[in-house]
Amino acid sequence: MEILQQGPVTSLEQLAGIAVALEGDLAERYAALAVSQRDRGEGEAADLFDRLASRARERRGVIEAKMQERGLQVRPSDLKGLVLPGDNEAEAGVDETLSRLTAYRALALAVRYQERAFRFHSYVAAHASDAKVQKAAEVLAREALGLAAGLRVERRQAFHAERRAGIGPPAPDARLVTSLADLLTAAGALERALSDRLAGQPDPGRLSEQTDEVKAELSSMAEQTGSPSRELVAAVEAWSRAQGRRNIRGSSYEEAREMLDQAFAFYTAVVERAASEEVLAAAQTLSQRCLERLKSLGGTA
């Protein structure tokens, strides 16, 4: 596939134009996350995003300076035409609700931003016919990958901090997921809990339809798997009973958002410790389904 609607990257000027645009876009996104986290009282997370925004602006300046040293002029590209393998349209929808993001969710989003930059530069390096373009793209890819790795560490720390602080009801323990059957069993419980939140809504809309679609996908996948472990089943049953005893406050849509946040955190934790490729792929798909539905909730609460 073409990474740009107007064709592949064939020159250093074109690569630099897209790279500075990407860094500028990252700087704006990180700055917005800093503001949202500071408004939530998450000072440490806000400071981290401020630093990330500054580093993105610095990287943009370094790229421009290197091009000027070569006597080349950098013209920032329009990113609207950028199409990358693995892009998910739903990711953009989470930006609409930045004020609702916990530090963990904000860092998870930042990881996705940085991974997108890595995918772009890696794709250019793999398909470049010009050796200079290939080498420059490889350097940029390594830098993006290093930043993504650092953010994953911050994300894990935020995840454990939020669990210790009791932010949101704990999801089933991702450490118990050792097979696809385990994952699908836990996912089924999460989806049923979400459906319960939406039951009785006069007009559940697209969110309910999406949830039914995910439940159907889970049922289809479960037909091809074995049985989950007894330990996982016991943990999921205990979690489901606890959900049934919860005193639900606020709107059903707020409850649905909380449940999707919880599911997203669970699937991300499974991805980080996946025991097999099939578990990894399924958990990644399910986390994307959460993002799609969070996008649907953008204007409902």
Q: What pLDDT is attached to residue 89?
A: 42
Q: Does pLDDT of 295 surpass 70?
A: no
At 204, the pLDDT band (50, 70, 90 cuts) reads low
At 35, the pLDDT band (50, 70, 90 cuts) reads very high
Q: Does pLDDT of 96 surpass 50?
A: no
Specify the amino acid at residue 36.
S
Q: What pLDDT is attached to residue 254?
A: 66
Tokens in use for 233? 């089943």
**Among 132-146, 193-207, 231-245, 248-262, where is mean pLDDT lowest?**
248-262
Q: What pLDDT is attached to residue 211?
A: 84
Average pLDDT over residues 11-30: 89
Q: Hey, what domains does the chain have and what are their CATH numbers?
A: 12-165 (1.20.1260.10), 174-296 (1.20.1260)
Average pLDDT over residues 279-286: 90
Average pLDDT over residues 187-213: 77
* Neighbouring C-beta atoms of residue 299, cutoff 10 Å: 8
The closest of 108, 139, 111, 106 to 124, measured between CA atoms, is: 139
| 186-214 per-residue burial string, b: 16 or more CB within 10 A, e: under 16 | bbbbbbebbbbbbeeeeebeebbebbeeb
Specify the amino acid at residue 199.
A
Average pLDDT over residues 54-72: 88
Average pLDDT over residues 262-290: 85
- Residues whose CB falls within 8 Å of the CB of residue 11, separated by 6 or more in sequence, listed in order: 130, 133
At 67, the pLDDT band (50, 70, 90 cuts) reads confident
Q: What pLDDT is attached to residue 249?
A: 47
Mean pLDDT of all residues in the chain? 78
- The pTM of the full predicted model, rounded to 2 decimals, is 0.56
| 220-251 per-residue burial string, b: 16 or more CB within 10 A, e: under 16 | ebbeebeebeeebbebbeebbeebeeeeeeee
Tokens in use for 135? 């080498």
The closest of 157, 156, 159 to 171, measured between CA atoms, is: 159
Q: Does pLDDT of 110 surpass 50?
A: yes
Q: Does pLDDT of 90 surpass 90?
A: no
More confident: 278 or 265: 278
The three-point CA angle 146-150-154 to 5° equals 165
Q: What pLDDT is attached to residue 179?
A: 92
pLDDT digits (tens, 9 = 90+) for 117-174: 888 888 888 888 889 999 999 988 888 888 887 887 787 777 777 766 655 545 678 8
Burial of 161 per CB tally in 10 Å (0-12, 13-18, 19+): middle
The closest of 129, 128, 145, 146 to 137, measured between CA atoms, is: 128
